[in-house]
Structure 1
Amino acid sequence: MRNILKKASRNFLYRHPWQLCLAILGITLGVAVVVAIDLTLDSSLQTFTRTTQALSGKASHRIVASDGGVDEKLYTALRVEHGIHVLSPVINCYVVSSAASENTFKLYGIDPMIESTFQSSWQQQQGTGAGNALRLISEPNTVLMSRQTAEKMGLQIDDQLSVITDTGSYELRVIDWLPEDDAVARELFENLLITDIATAQEILGLVGNLSAIDVMIASDQEAKIQALREALPADLLLMSLDNQAESLQQMTHAFAINLNAMGMLSLLVGMFLIYNTMTFLVIQRRRLIGSLRSIGVTRQQIFQLIISEALILAVIGTVLGIALGIILGQGLLHIISGTLNAFYFRIDHSTLILSPVQIAKGILLGIGATLLAVLTPAWEATRQSPQHTLLRSQLETDVRRLMRFAVIVALLFILCSFLLILLSGTNVRLGLISLFLLLFGFALLTPVVTLLLMNLLERTLGRSSSIFAKLPVRMVRAEISRTGIAIATLMIAVSVSIGMDIMIGSFRLTVSEWLQTSLQADLYVNLSGNTQAANKSDNDHILKTRLAGLEGVEMLSSVLHTRLIRDQTLTKVTVFELNPKSKQGFIFKQQGNGVWEAFTQQNSVFVTEPYAYHNQTKIGDKILLHTDQGEQAFEVIAIYADYSGDQGHLAMSRSNYQKYWPDLGFTGIGIYAAQQADRQQLEKHVKQLLKPYQSVRSEQAIYQASMQMFEQTFKITEILRLLAASIAFVGVFSALMALQFERTRQLGILRAIGMTPMQVGRIISIETGLMGLIAGLFAVPVGFVMAYVLIFVVYQRSFGWTMAFHLDAFVIVQALLLAFFAALLAGVLPATKMAQTKPAEALRSE
């Protein structure tokens, strides 16, 4: 009996290769998206962590300060007075090559002799030990660099590398290569320069200052760690490198969840496709299954047969999906790394790292989702008696009976979704689960809505004498077991498209309005550089005075981006020096009375909306910041909109900042031109005052660059949405192909009674177009609900931003056209093939 089952299954599947290919394609695409997203996110975080570990070696902790840096006298005091010897001073900064390529290098200054204790990766390899360490100390302006990077720039050993820093131009001599024994090492050390700490201090203007001090203390020596904390000044922080890696993961947690949700959405649509395919494979074999049951095949054997078929498809699709995911991940890595660079932390290079955990997750999801999707059709194939299985009408009767139960389940899903939104607080994962419950609920409602619409349309067309008006409607209604699934799949994809379009459009409009309000100055001078560099503050103030004296300048404003210590963490702080116009650039969400007077005269801060949301900060709360004079309390007097990052920051007046922290100069200066001034001429005069590494841009140029970054950030979302839509199209195509081939006898009868091939094709096209139109119409309200949940639940919980709900009528029209033409296009091949079938062949009994 088992051999008969295998032969029956093999013969049937061989005769329907296109269905198998479409099912495998659905699994492949769904798994590929999930694997690609997981690999790219994990690779970006691992790359950052591996780079830190390669440079820090066995260091367990790091002493850091705000952007003012660490006084090197502390290093001496810790070694001599406190007896802590396992310390390594570090200088970490970026420099730019003065060559035509203008490469950016990470300059890492260390004490080569002490660093050997920490066994950094660059010192563990043969030939890069004490010899090079001594040369870095004894020979001035010498560096080690990657051979691969040097070859790209045409450099050899003993060649000079010209770099530009905040203090001028310097010639650095390459004395040896960094180790590149494997691909990982080549990637880690790309665009990295290792030099002696004295050389780094000299060329960066950091004499007497350090970026950080690496510390090596065993994790179980809590007393020693606490003693070191107590020995540090109030404005310094002892940070665990393990905790730093964890904080990076927490920082990108919401970003990762949202991308993974898009990947799971693709897999969800893929599950609908698998369900479609396996359902049709079962339906098309109802007579065969009934015959097998009649000759003694048991329910369990039928169930095992269908599950085994699905398992084979799952394995093939999962393997192909993992391979495609790796390829897709390599393409997405640059996009995701760019977003991480813009909003979270800098990644100097991007390498796709294959993780066994992520591959295993892809295997589990691919096989698990397939088996889950096939349970219902497998159960349907075994629950009926042989007599009922052989009756075609029994299927539609059973499906219509189940639709009543499906309505109850759908309403429960939707109700649970709304309750989850109300009761889940700020939890991002539960917000996304509520979104998926909504989609499941509306998907279950789709066949019922389709049936109601077809009944209404049939009554409306009751007086029509045209068969082309009546027959397609009856075909959709009569075979709701097939058409309902196809329409539900397309509806989900289109509603996701509507929801994402409205969300992105609302966010784009919100960011655009925020930028136009915030950018009050006419020109912006960028002074970003190493804030620890000698004389930077003095030079910035001199430049500011010269800018104020230019003809056509009415007034100036300034900003400094720095970091201050709060609760054993580094907190971003923006220091403002404002004028009456720049104050108009703040969009307050909440504010107290007399905010501007309090902002400049009291210990007070503004906080951005994301910061307030993530830290549950309210007006009147006190924030304790570390200073040389101990902790100082700053009262929160306003919360304002800011979309430059999702972690948020504090805003402080320059007068308040200078009471407790050193003057680090400026990060940027805003220039407000007089009303009659020639702005282009003014920009030329400003450029003449700037150094090569400084720049000036107009308000319009910054606006355009910011909007381009916005588009870049959402590029990954657009790609994932297109992939989900592609999977849905494959699902609809699969369903329509199966549906039309199953109607071979019906269409043969139409041909036999005189209908031409063109007329048959016309009926099929009208039917598929009608199915697409139904999917599009139902997708509109579902898309609106999805957009609302995305904007006011998921994205607010993820990033702390609030957005205006912006409805674009073009999105609705576009979605309806997408659904209509997708279904119409998916029906072209079945319509053509069925129209060309000869009546005698179509009516021939198998």
Structure 2
Amino acid sequence: MTERMSRAALTQWFWADTRLQVPGLSLALMALLLALSANIGVDTMVSSFRLTFLGWLDQRLAAELCVTAKDEDEAKRLREWLPRYSMAVLPIWSVEGNVLGQHLQIFGVANDPTYRDHWPFIVADREAWDEVASGEGALINEQMWRRGAASLGKTIRMPGDWDATVAGVYSDYGNPKGQVIIGIASLVTHYPDVSKLRYGIRVPPEQASSLSQRLVTEFGLAETAIIDQASLKRQSRAVFEQTFTATGALNVLTLAIAGFAMFSSLLTLSGIRLPQLAPLRAMGVRRRDLALYEVVRTLALWLATFVAAIPVGLGLAWVLLAIVNVEAFGWRLPMTVFPLDWLWLGAVALLAAILSVLIPVRRLATINPADLLRIFADER
């Protein structure tokens, strides 16, 4: 199209010559396309996982402290002592049982803003949390929902022969099994023997350390029974960030290989193309202009490859997140796009393309005109 739209003779020659060089560069361009597509796809998957992981940490570790009593007597004293020094005490109690033919965990949650603010749903009724608090509703994790074991609004039979209606579906990353959440009152009513040893404690973040010390010095709780969840988040994030170092190194390696392939192809073609450039030099086109045309051609091919790689990479990411991950683990990661990362990858690929054309361009810009014409004469 650009060739047909061109009016100047040199511009028409440029696009025609570019089209002529594509077969010789096809292998190198395909390597660059695959490298860019793989990088975009994997980066999208990993970065989407990173955002999801951080959100999951905020969801599951919303309480500033987590404490575990050694026995029921200590747990009772904790329930009496903690409300004086905290904003909320959240029981972390659960039982195991068979629901819809699957052995899973059933958790009870308090009617507290912590859950309403930090537990996003995939699908849910409008008043899902109110239904759970009333004892009529239950929440199921994504694994049960995707397997078709239960759906929104379906009544499920709970252990102990009572029914609950599915009011919402929540993400439960990393868990291979199903899971059900009901109100804490329903949990205690239907399963009075539930262990009541673990609690999440909500306090202003700046007071978490002092409360932790008080639990040890005043209450007498063992230090090993207290988890500073803010510190746990930081450690988890630090460990996870190490994966990005490896991903970045792989990105650089694949792009370097693609850049080397382009360099080899351009270096080989530069010698073959000299007879084609000699007539232009004979007609008065300066060597500097010929070298500039070579650079522009490389940039045009890079741009076309980069633009084509974006949808291919996004398609790869979608397959990994929406199909492979669901089939392998039973849960789906939300896909988030990162255009700034594409620009960074494009800049790295551009640098590789420019480096690959430097030697052929330098050779063309410094070749003696007589040698160029002699090559043309010998080819004839």
Normalising TM by the smaller chain, what interval? 0.7 to 0.9
Gaps of 5+ in 1: 1-451, 529-534, 626-630
Correspondence 1:558 to 2:87: no
Given candidates 22, 25, 43, the residue that maps to 1:501 is 43
Q: Once the two structures are superposed, what CA deviation does each residue of 1:563-599 show, in whole Å capped at 9, x if it has no partner? A: 545688653x252341422231322333357644653
Q: Does 1:580 align with 2:121?
A: no
Secondary structure in 2 matching 1:827: helix
**Cα 1:768–1:644 shift into 2, 3 Å:** same
Deviations 1:386-443 (A, max 9, x none): xxxxxxxxxxxxxxxxxxxxxxxxxxxxxxxxxxxxxxxxxxxxxxxxxxxxxxxxxx
Is 1:455 paired with 2:7? no
Maintained 8 Å contact 1:795/1:801: yes
Verify the 8 A CA contact 1:574 1:652 in the aligned structure 2. Answer: yes
**Superimposed CA distance per residue, residues 527-578 of structure 1 (whole angstroms, 9 cap, x where no aligned partner):** 49xxxxxx5444344344433343xx1221021466545688653x252341
**Aligned partner (choices 164, 167, 175) of residue 635 of structure 1:** 164
What is the identity, as a one-letter code, of the residue corresponding to 1:477?
R
The structure-2 alpha-carbon separation of the partners of 1:706 and 1:650, relative to structure 1 and needing over 3 Å to count, comes to: farther
Q: How far apart in 2 are the matches of 1:831 and 1:769?
A: 13
> Residue 498 of structure 1 aligns to which amino acid in structure 2?
I
1:590 is the counterpart of 2:123: yes
Closer, same or farther: CA 513–751 of 1 in aligned 2, 3 Å: same
- Could you tell me which amino acid in structure 2 is paired with residue 778 of structure 1? A
Q: Equivalent residue for 2:74?
A: 539
Q: 1:514 Cα shift?
A: 5.2
Q: What SS does the corresponding residue of 2:140 show, helix, strand or coil?
A: strand
Deviations 1:785-808 (A, max 9, x none): 444444444445544445555444
Is the contact made by 2:135 and 2:183 (CA closer than 8 Å) also made in structure 1? no
The residue that corresponds to 2:32 in the other structure is: 490
Q: Is 1:825 equivalent to 2:320 in the alignment?
A: no
The correspondence of residues 611-760 of structure 1 with structure 2, limited to 5 A, is: 611-619=144-152, 620-622=154-156, 625=159, 632=161, 635-647=164-176, 648-658=178-188, 659-660=190-191, 662-667=193-198, 669-673=199-203, 678-686=207-215, 688=217, 689-697=220-228, 699=230, 701-708=231-238, 710-712=240-242, 721-747=251-277
1:720 Cα shift?
Answer: 5.1
Hey, what does 2:66 align to over in structure 1?
525
Kindly indicate whether the alpha-carbon contact (under 8 Å) linking 2:255 and 2:352 is maintained by their aligned counterparts in 1. Answer: no
% identity of equivalent residues: 20
Q: What letter is aligned with 2:66?
A: V
> Could you tell me which amino acid in structure 2 is paired with residue 524 of structure 1?
L
SS in 2 for 1:612: helix
CA contact (8 A) 2:52 2:333 kept: yes
Letter in 2 for 1:697: D
CA distance in 2: counterparts of 1:690 and 1:737, whole angstroms: 72
Q: Per the alignment, in what secondary structure is the counterpart of residue 664 of structure 1?
A: coil
Residues 473, 683 of structure 1: alpha-carbon distance in 2 compared, 3 angstrom cutoff: farther
Residues 302-313 of structure 1 correspond to what in structure 2 (within 5 A)?
Answer: none
Q: Displacement, 1:624? A: 5.5
Change in 2 beyond 3 A, CA 1:564/1:750: farther
Matched-pair contact (CA < 8 Å) for 1:476–1:483: no
> After the TM superposition, which residues 194-205 of structure 1 pair with which residues of structure 2 at under 5 Å, given as runs?
none
Please tell me whether the aligned partners of residues 609 and 639 of structure 1 are also in contact (alpha carbons under 8 angstroms): no
| 1:51-66 → structure 2 map (5 Å cutoff) | none
Letter of the structure 2 residue corresponding to residue 685 of structure 1: R
Does residue 1:775 correspond to 2:314, yes or no? no
User: C-alpha separation between the residues in 1 aligned to 2:143 and 2:68?
Assistant: 26
Q: Tell whether the 8 Å contact from 2:173 to 2:331 is kept in structure 1 after alignment.
A: no
Residue 708 of structure 1: how far off its partner (Å):
4.0
Instruction: Indicate if the aligned counterparts of 1:687 and 1:696 stay in contact, CA closer than 8 A.
Output: no
| Unmatched segments (≥5 aa) in structure 2 | none
The residue matched to 1:618 in structure 2 has which SS? coil
**CA 1:518–1:722 in 2, change beyond 3 Å: closer, same or farther?**
same
Deviations for 1:64-106, whole angstroms, at most 9, x for unmatched residues? xxxxxxxxxxxxxxxxxxxxxxxxxxxxxxxxxxxxxxxxxxx
- Give the Cα–Cα distance (whole angstroms) in 2 for the partners of residues 623 and 709 of structure 1: 40
Q: How many residues align?
A: 370
SS of 1:607 mapped into structure 2:
strand
Paired residues of 2:61 and 2:229 also in contact (CA < 8 A): no
Q: Is residue 2:22 matched to residue 1:480?
A: yes
Q: Residue 743 of structure 1: SS of its match in structure 2?
A: helix
TM-score by length of 1: 0.38
Residue 800 and residue 732 in structure 1: after superposition, are their counterparts in 2 closer, same or farther (change >3 A)? farther
Q: Distance in 2 between matches of 1:580 and 1:559?
A: 13
Trace 1:39-118 onto structure 2 (pairs within 5 A): none
Query: What is the letter of the counterpart of residue 3 of structure 2?
Result: N
Identify if the C-alpha distance between structure 1 residues 510 and 644 changes in structure 2 by more than 3 Å, giving closer, same or farther. closer
Confirm or deny: 8 A CA contact 2:298 2:353 kept in the other structure. Answer: yes
Displacement of 1:612 in angstroms is 1.7
Letter in 1 for 2:156: K
Cα drift, residue 772 of structure 1: 0.7
Cα distance between partner residues in 2 of 1:543 and 1:635: 31
In 2, Cα distance between equivalents of 1:733 and 1:616: 55
CA distance in 2, matches of 1:805, 1:558: 33
The residue type paired with residue 587 of structure 1 is P
The residue correspondences of 1:346-357 to structure 2 (distance < 5 A) are none
1:740–1:755 Cα change, 3 Å: same
Structure 2 distance, partners of 1:502, 1:728, is: 20
Q: 1 or 2 for the larger relative contact order (CA 8 Å, sep ≥6)?
A: 2
TM-score normalised per structure 2: 0.75
Per the alignment, do residues 760 and 686 of structure 1 end up closer, same or farther by CA in structure 2, a change over 3 Å counting? farther
Partner of 1:40: none
Q: CA, structure 1 residues 818+616, in 2 after alignment: closer, same or farther (shift >3 Å)?
A: farther
> Any residues of structure 2 matched to 1:24-423 within 5 Å, and which?
none
Aligned to 1:645, the other structure's residue is in SS state coil
CA change 1:579–1:834 in 2 (3 A) is same
8 Å contact 2:94–2:107 — kept in the other structure?
A: yes
Cα deviation, 1:9-36, whole Å, max 9, x if unaligned, reads xxxxxxxxxxxxxxxxxxxxxxxxxxxx
* Residue 680 of structure 1: how far off its partner (Å): 4.9
